[in-house]
């Protein structure tokens, strides 16, 4: 079921269309990845979903009801982790959380317990009494996430939560997203890091120039642009018959020879290595090197936009 749906969502700044006729659906219980380069319009989209920015056009439905006319419908159930860290550096972690707990109207008698809970979720229990200005970048990010979890949101929106932080904090955040989702939280995870989106997300929406240019499960997106893996096999010598025998394997789509290296197109995720080794043995061929290249999300972006996401 659709938890949140944005329809024909648009935002124009002066004359610049930051978000342009965007459609997106977040389903109950999923982690939806919103992947796009810097400037694609991800933060602008999120701000509109969180009722912080008024759309120029379009509609946002939460559980089928319009959020634009009644933002309180979503406000209580939405946790937003903004891209920019919004904390008071001169206060301790706990004091910051107390401030946000009041802001989110967490009932007074539940505050201490909720604060202890979210500190534990983000792994900062032992640093709760230190001033935030003493925190590392990764710790600040984790506290920023803790703030968004205080009121037990049903939908968590995270805007590039791992940019510029140490690997340990990054891993902690990725693990935390999985855990929260396992416990039933729906999550919109925004990033320009493909690897994160690939490992975390049930479905992925790819955004570029203000619109969603593709949306689906990772394998379906990849299947849109390429339905084969490439296997490169280097050999010491060529033996007549070997090439023909390999070509006859069911999963082999094509095979080309470049001197002492074969390029073999395979059906996606086909397992031909055991057969390949058996044939090589039969024909007395020594295999010197093997390299398998499965298509990745990067290839989807490249195919759809003509640009590489990594260059951004
Ligand atoms: N308040 C604003 N005023 C003018 N232009 C803006 C404003 N906010 C964002 N933009 C522009 O809108 C585009 C999308 O920005 P943004 O949503 O921040 O992208 P992303 O989060 O994907 O990096 C960019 O070209 C950005 O410069
Ligand atoms: Mg952004």
Q: Give, using CA atoms, the residue closest to atom 1 of ligand 1.
A: 13
- Residue 64 carries which DSSP code? T
223-235 pLDDT, tens digit each = 887 778 889 999 9
Residue 46 confidence class, pLDDT cut points 50, 70, 90: very high
Give the ligand whose atoms come closest to the C-alpha of residue 82.
2
Residue 310 confidence class, pLDDT cut points 50, 70, 90: low
Q: Give, using CA atoms, the residue closest to atom 7 of ligand 1.
A: 13
- The residues near 123 (Cβ < 8 Å, ≥ 6 apart) are 142, 172
Question: Does residue 237 sit in helix, strand or coil?
Answer: coil
Give the ligand whose atoms come closest to the C-alpha of residue 161.
2
Backbone angles phi, psi at 67, to 5 degrees: -85, -25
Give pLDDT, residue 223. 83
Q: Give, using CA atoms, the residue closest to atom 11 of ligand 1.
A: 18
What are the CA-CA distances from residue 276 to residues 237, 244, 271 (Å)? 15, 12, 10
The Cα 248–Cα 180 span in angstroms is 48
Q: Which helix (H) or strand (E) holds 9?
A: strand 2-13
Question: Does residue 167 sit in helix, strand or coil?
Answer: helix
Residue ranges of domains in the chain, CATH in brackets: 2-223 (3.40.50.300), 227-294 (3.30.70.1150)
Q: Indicate whether 124 pLDDT > 60.
A: yes
Q: Which two tokens stand for residue 251?
A: 């999963």
Give the distance from CA 102 to its chain's centroid.
31
Distance 254 CA to ligand 1 centre (A): 45
Give pLDDT, residue 2. 93
Residue 121 confidence class, pLDDT cut points 50, 70, 90: very high
Segment 193-199 long-range contacts (CB within 8 Å, at least 24 positions apart): 193/162, 194/35, 194/296, 194/297, 194/298, 194/301, 194/309, 196/33, 196/162, 197/33, 197/35, 197/297, 198/296, 198/297, 199/174
- 307-311: average pLDDT: 72
- 142-171: average pLDDT: 94
Give pLDDT, residue 247. 93
Give pLDDT, residue 85. 87
H-state helical runs in the chain: 42-49, 72-75, 93-103, 108-121, 137-149, 167-182, 194-200, 218-225, 242-247, 273-282, 297-305
Which residue in this structure is represented by tokens 């999923």?
30
Give pLDDT, residue 144. 95
The Cα 268–Cα 251 span in angstroms is 9
The Cα 310–Cα 23 span in angstroms is 25
Phi-psi region of 306 (alpha: psi -120 to 50; beta: other; left: phi over 0): left
Distance 28 CA to ligand 2 centre (A): 24
Q: Give, using CA atoms, the residue closest to atom 27 of ligand 1.
A: 39
- 295-309: average pLDDT: 83
Pocket (CB within 6 angstroms of ligand 1): 13, 16, 18, 36, 38-44
- 158-169: average pLDDT: 92
The Cα 3–Cα 202 span in angstroms is 15
- 179-199: average pLDDT: 94
């Amino acid at each position: 079921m659709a938890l949140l749906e944005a329809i024909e969502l648009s935002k124009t700044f002066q004359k610049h269309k930051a978000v342009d006729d965007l459609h997106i659906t977040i389903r109950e219980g999923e982690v939806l990845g919103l992947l796009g380069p810097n400037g694609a319009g991800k933060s602008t989209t999120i701000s509109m979903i969180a009722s912080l920015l008024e759309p120029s056009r379009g509609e946002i439905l939460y559980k089928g009801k319009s959020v634009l006319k009644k933002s309180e419908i979503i406000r209580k159930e939405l946790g937003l982790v903004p891209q920019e860290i919004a904390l008071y550096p001169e206060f301790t972690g706990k004091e910051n959380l107390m401030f946000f707990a009041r802001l989110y109207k967490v009932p007074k008698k539940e505050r201490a317990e909720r604060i202890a809970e979210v500190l534990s979720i983000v792994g900062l229990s032992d640093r709760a009494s230190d001033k935030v200005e003493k925190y590392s970048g990764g710790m600040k990010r984790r506290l920023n996430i803790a703030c968004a979890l205080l009121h037990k949101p049903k939908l968590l929106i995270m805007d590039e939560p791992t940019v510029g932080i140490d690997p340990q904090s990054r891993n902690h955040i990725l693990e935390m997203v999985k855990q929260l989702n396992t416990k039933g939280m729906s999550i919109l995870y925004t990033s320009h890091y493909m690897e994160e989106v690939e490992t975390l997300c049930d479905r992925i929406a790819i955004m570029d120039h203000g619109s969603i240019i593709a949306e689906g499960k990772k394998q379906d997106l990849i299947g849109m642009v390429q339905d084969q893996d490439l296997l490169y096999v280097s050999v010491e010598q060529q033996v007549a018959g070997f090439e023909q025998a390999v070509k006859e394997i069911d999963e082999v789509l094509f095979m080309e020879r470049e001197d002492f290296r074969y390029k073999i197109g395979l059906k996606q995720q086909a397992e031909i290595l055991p057969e390949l080794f058996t044939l090589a043995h039969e024909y007395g061929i020594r295999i010197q090197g093997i390299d398998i290249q499965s298509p990745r999300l990067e290839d989807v972006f490249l195919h759809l936009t003509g640009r590489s996401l990594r260059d951004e």
